[in-house]
Structure 1
């Protein structure tokens, strides 16, 4: 071949010239330019280098694998019509070339073993046994390769069915399934046949090898030896006849197994020698492998304990008998028996105090460890206090308070540029709303609390979770009862107040009156020498809103509000409700840290993982920092408004604390109920039983439910009271209606409705079900119902008074008093009293009332009459007869 340049060679091989030059340099060639020529010798050097770098050698291959694939088509007919099945058969055969030196060495070793050279009898027997127990099929193939010096052949055959239908066997045609099964069965039978033939060949080869070894090792026969026919020699005496043989008891050794068939002469140990490595015996049958334990091994690993296990039992302030038994790994009956020995009759579901439980534990031989009921809470506080982040300024949390209809929500409406009050039932706010508003000078978080008297507790929670309070007072209305309550809550929480004098655009606005009334409540304006900022605003026109925001931010600067954002979040629950589609939804205010989606949250007696997090507009967010109100989904219940929440490291820790709080709350509630029963047991003895109105209350949010409950419980007196048998958040269910029907209760639904099943039960059972959207409508109806349950008040009204002037005797009526009516009118059918010296001496009724000789029903003032007192004749002149009437007057709360 003619000499070519490097660039021409690169074009021929299809590689870049720079890369080819680098490879030539690595091969040891001295080419540096693409224009230099390349000889045939250089090409051979480069080719050898490239082959060696890619792992290729010039030696002949030791293994060659041949593959062949054949395709065929099967046409089938079935219930679903004719179908076509593609059958693909893949065959693979591998030829391995062995080293001639290995073949010569193996042949020499085989000849030495066959001749038995240099081996003792014991070694020869062990050699024969090991050879027989080797893999027969592989041994036979290797012996053939050693003798004939042929390469080893390994063949594989695989049949693949390619079906143009779905692989779901339930949808395949039965004919296709039968053909597939037939192909698999034939393949399996062919494999079994090959294995059996290989095993038989190996067996024959091994028997021939053993016979040859025994023949070579046996001594040469002598002249005295005679052939043995049928197990006896020719010169041996003939066996005795049947009658000449001595009687021998037919016995068989218990150790010798009874064998049948043509292989009964083989020993059982020899049978295992014909099992190959695949688990096939000499006849190609598969045998079960018996696992044998090593010598000295035990049948099981269980060891009976020798000493009694002593447990350290942690005993809380109250524990059930069953829980105490579980802590000691005992049955509850054992603990009950021990209690009976101590003179305490208790069941397994009864609660024990700490001292009794400690005594039982010590009597049963265990160690008691007293656990304080507050250890869980203390550990939680320690865990939360470990997180110390870097403090940074945060936005102020502002609570808007004031009387009803003084413009709190309207003022916040204008700031948020929304319409919240228009969507509230009755035009009042009945939930705590939380919003954060971005201004030009910073962000402010607002909490809008209800102003109605029923939401006192909710307003108190709002004051405890805020930094600044905006006290909204209408300029045309002045200070009202709820305004005074807001001032008290703000002072109790130690929160500064900023007064917003609203409705300044009205004609009757009088801001001086507001200042004077607030000054009387110790809320002194700054221009009067006090420390409270007064801002005149109008929620309708927006006047003074900027001044109000500036006053809030100025107050926040004075407070120097800070919080760490790089720690797990903690804060307070603002509100919670139950949504039918999304479950429990809780509105929380983050006071420190950052809350993220997926965090484990503990809120009061409930816990859960944050599945979703929404802002006040319902938009999903991933995280939120301090002073940001959010809604979280994922808690296992609805926590109470005002409960604190915190992010914990594990769900197990949160669950333990929540369960502890639930148990403690249940125990405290039971103690209060028992105490109340004991206190009222003797107080109510001998008195008329008080009447109660049973109610079931369901509300949309937890805050409204608490406000309704507190209002209803405060409504009763000693004679009538409200008994809340069930309450909850969410819609009215079948269980609520059934409970109300059983206890004869009234069901109140506040902004919730009953489902279809519950409504059917209401119609059948006749349960009183009432819906409300304004809280004071519900309170008015309950108050009216309680008033109707009160017994009426009895009032006496004196109708008339007559003075006795003289007494006459009558044979029919006895003493007749001649009287002059001095006051009112005497009515015959009314009861009377006889007074002497203004002291009542007799109470009774009139027997006769006459005017002259006529019986009359009434006698007016200034008229004379004759009066006969029934069953009383000791009437004297100067006495007074008083006629009165008892009337029933309805009472009200």
Structure 2
């Protein structure tokens, strides 16, 4: 009996065997028109080459073609046998009873099968026995016969699979029935047994059981007639009951049931083992082609997660990374580029991971904000070299005295101001000019609309001036040159313009497009012309922004105030920032508790191009982070947490990204590299970045400067403990240590240094690093004497009469004896005499007598080299 799955398989295969006229024509190598004509002659009407030709119609066409060419002879047809009858008889003996009642019974199993052969096979044999026919028709017949044979083989295979499935189902049913009968028999035997008496156990051995007849011999399953098969069962003579219980007639019903269940369990175990080993109809089959997977990779991913997405063992991925030169463990995090390389190396495809849900929600949140763009004030960044008057110029415009309060007369961080002038509102960003603050200047150039380059007329174009020009060009913002200090006697504005020509900055007076204004920040000369130039440039830019709606912008500077907490100076670029807004700023989030302008006064809101100080964030954001106002605190917190997790993964990648080349380079170093650990705390985030970059840039092959802690705010107890653990030097830039931190510093005798000018920080770190490097012993040759004659002395042995040809020879310094420019002895002087007097030194051009201690093999022509060892302090 066929199961539902077997019927579906048979139906699917019948559908897959359908052939169109076009395919049949290509198979038999015959034109489609000719095949349609032959089908019409055979009595089958076909009009479309894409019509389906069934197996019956193929056979009909084949018979027609044979009859047309006289290939269906009656004699050959009569000679072929119509059917074959097979008879099989099997005899065996069974032993019934036991003891004196023992008897033997003969069991005879007879089986008769009649096989009928279809006419088509006889026709095929007749066609093979006939004479030659038309070559083209013979080819058609051959192709049709091959197609028919393939179909028959496929049908026979499918029928065999269906038969096996039916047998499996019937066997399972019989096993279940036998198990049920066994349980019923055991229950009945237990109920019929006398109290206290257990059922007699079944005897093992005693009587040999003959081999059970095979499935075909028992006739337990008849051959089912299948569609399209050659052989059909005409009749079967068999006694199923006798075959099934052959060899078990002497057993009771319960014993037979137990034996049947035992054999069923054996067969079940065999089937399970076959399925585990890949055998059987439901065994595992190896894929015929490699499976290419699409692996989504974010900014960083652990090796274990990557192996899981690749459906591979973690050790295989680690091995692939090792072959690429990356040493990583299974729990280590690798960056995006490395993960993409290893995925492609393993034959898979890497795709970029979709952004997190919170980030996607935030992006949709920002894109929803739309409004009418209105004119906005320009953002102007003042840039230039140190001490060229940038802050003084801004002070004159703001009518304040900020420059006098700066430590050392230089700006240490970005200042943000907005000024109401006769030309309108202008926002100014004041950037530091020291070389260490390159990142601040680059950040200021990206935020600005116009760059004002201040150049001192009495100094000229300096390195930071050139760097400011490069930042302005990289940001794509227009440049206005303010030539300052023209009121000085040695000022030469024309020289400044000529020097700027070398950097492709051409003044309008020279036919260029750069406005240059000569001014004096001290007297105010030319400041109005500068404001006019800024206003003119802003009109040309047509600056506009959305004034209403949720605000967005960039963090200019951030700090940690002891009384107010984290304070961020932000520049609003779109929308309006108000008190009570929820915002996410980099990895920090919070609610705006208060807004302050540059004068310290509270404001209710801030529009586009207006810098304000924001209170209420969860922590100190990094300078340069973007901020966005959202509807609720939940979204802000989720986005901040996801960004923090990504940043932590990237830090792990940077910390653990060891490659074999790096390890080999460390192994190849002769001396161990010294490490100077630093703890840096500053008043603002920009100063922290500048100090970190400037100090780590002092590292070389002998010493590596490692910043273990860097942050904003005062020096706390945790900072001091970290410094004590790593034996680090603590640097406080415009901040101080609290009482708990000072106690830890005194207990561990830590090195704490306060600074307010970045020059002093760099100089003192150089001194500390030089102290760690230690001293280097160098040898310096101070004099050379040439041996002219050798004298023998009873007191000193061999005495070399020599001439000092270079430098000076001193008695208390070590010497070397050279012969043919090769050192043959190194030691000390026994005596140094000038005539008969002992002397301490003999200078160049003077004769002397030299006795070498513990060496008497001096010969004329040798050179005696006098040298001294000096200690040189290593420096960076």
TM-score, scaled to structure 1: 0.58
Shift in alpha-carbon separation, 1:814–1:374, aligned structure 2, 3 A = farther
Say if 1:598 and 1:610, in contact at 8 Å, map to a contact too: yes
**Which sits farther off after the overlay, 599-608 or 523-532?**
599-608
For residue 614 of structure 1, the aligned residue among 578, 596, 610 is 596
**Which sits farther off after the overlay, 835-844 or 384-393?**
835-844
Say if 1:694 and 1:724, in contact at 8 Å, map to a contact too: yes
Shift in alpha-carbon separation, 1:577–1:844, aligned structure 2, 3 A = same
What is the aligned partner in structure 2 of residue 718 from structure 1? 701
What is the aligned partner in structure 2 of residue 669 from structure 1? 651
Residue 410 of structure 1 deviates from its aligned partner by 1.0
What is the aligned partner in structure 1 of residue 772 from structure 2? 789
What is the aligned partner in structure 2 of residue 529 from structure 1? 511
What is the aligned partner in structure 2 of residue 479 from structure 1? 461
CA distance in 1 between partners of 2:488 and 2:834 (Å): 71
Residue 447 of structure 1 deviates from its aligned partner by 0.4
Say if 2:314 and 2:330, in contact at 8 Å, map to a contact too: no
1:866 lines up with 2:832 in the alignment: no
For residue 750 of structure 1, the aligned residue among 723, 728, 733 is 733
Residue 766 of structure 1 deviates from its aligned partner by 2.1
CA distance in 2 between partners of 1:441 and 1:354 (Å): 50
CA distance in 2 between partners of 1:444 and 1:786 (Å): 46
Structure 2 spans left out of the alignment, 5+ residues? 1-294, 320-327, 340-349
What is the aligned partner in structure 1 of residue 713 from structure 2? 730
1:407 lines up with 2:395 in the alignment: no
Residue 706 of structure 1 deviates from its aligned partner by 0.9
1:309-320 matched pairs, under 5 angstroms: none
Say if 1:354 and 1:370, in contact at 8 Å, map to a contact too: no
More helix by share: 2
Residue 853 of structure 1 deviates from its aligned partner by 5.1
Q: Find the residue that maps to 2:371 and give its secondary structure.
A: coil
What is the aligned partner in structure 2 of residue 583 from structure 1? 565
Q: Find the residue that maps to 2:496 and give its secondary structure.
A: helix
CA distance in 1 between partners of 2:830 and 2:617 (Å): 79
1:69-119 per-residue CA deviation (whole Å, 9 max, x = no partner) reads: xxxxxxxxxxxxxxxxxxxxxxxxxxxxxxxxxxxxxxxxxxxxxxxxxxx
CA distance in 2 between partners of 1:565 and 1:822 (Å): 88
1:687 lines up with 2:663 in the alignment: no
What is the aligned partner in structure 2 of residue 834 from structure 1? 817
Q: Find the residue that maps to 1:825 and give its secondary structure.
A: strand
1:591-638 per-residue CA deviation (whole Å, 9 max, x = no partner) reads: 112222222212111111212222222222222211111111111111
Say if 1:695 and 1:740, in contact at 8 Å, map to a contact too: yes
Say if 1:806 and 1:876, in contact at 8 Å, map to a contact too: yes
CA distance in 2 between partners of 1:317 and 1:787 (Å): 40
CA distance in 1 between partners of 2:599 and 2:813 (Å): 72
Residue 340 of structure 1 deviates from its aligned partner by 11
1:398 lines up with 2:384 in the alignment: no
For residue 799 of structure 2, the aligned residue among 816, 838, 843 is 816
1:15-69 per-residue CA deviation (whole Å, 9 max, x = no partner) reads: xxxxxxxxxxxxxxxxxxxxxxxxxxxxxxxxxxxxxxxxxxxxxxxxxxxxxxx
Say if 2:362 and 2:635, in contact at 8 Å, map to a contact too: no
Shift in alpha-carbon separation, 1:581–1:513, aligned structure 2, 3 A = same
Say if 1:317 and 1:373, in contact at 8 Å, map to a contact too: no
Which structure has the larger Rg?
1
Say if 2:583 and 2:636, in contact at 8 Å, map to a contact too: yes
Residue 317 of structure 1 deviates from its aligned partner by 6.9
1:413-432 matched pairs, under 5 angstroms: 413-432=395-414
For residue 434 of structure 2, the aligned residue among 439, 452, 455 is 452
For residue 439 of structure 1, the aligned residue among 405, 413, 421 is 421
CA distance in 2 between partners of 1:728 and 1:343 (Å): 36
For residue 686 of structure 2, the aligned residue among 694, 703, 719 is 703
For residue 631 of structure 2, the aligned residue among 632, 649, 653 is 649
Residue 323 of structure 1 deviates from its aligned partner by 11
1:881 lines up with 2:867 in the alignment: no
Shift in alpha-carbon separation, 1:542–1:842, aligned structure 2, 3 A = same
Residue 370 of structure 1 deviates from its aligned partner by 9.4
Shift in alpha-carbon separation, 1:841–1:721, aligned structure 2, 3 A = same
Residue 851 of structure 1 deviates from its aligned partner by 3.9
Name which structure has the greater RCO, CA cutoff 8 Å, separation 6+: 2
1:150-549 matched pairs, under 5 angstroms: 372=353, 374-375=355-356, 380-549=362-531
1:194-218 per-residue CA deviation (whole Å, 9 max, x = no partner) reads: xxxxxxxxxxxxxxxxxxxxxxxxx
Say if 2:304 and 2:314, in contact at 8 Å, map to a contact too: no
**Which sits farther off after the overlay, 867-876 or 432-441?**
867-876
Shift in alpha-carbon separation, 1:836–1:735, aligned structure 2, 3 A = same
Say if 1:700 and 1:730, in contact at 8 Å, map to a contact too: yes
TM-score, scaled to structure 2: 0.59
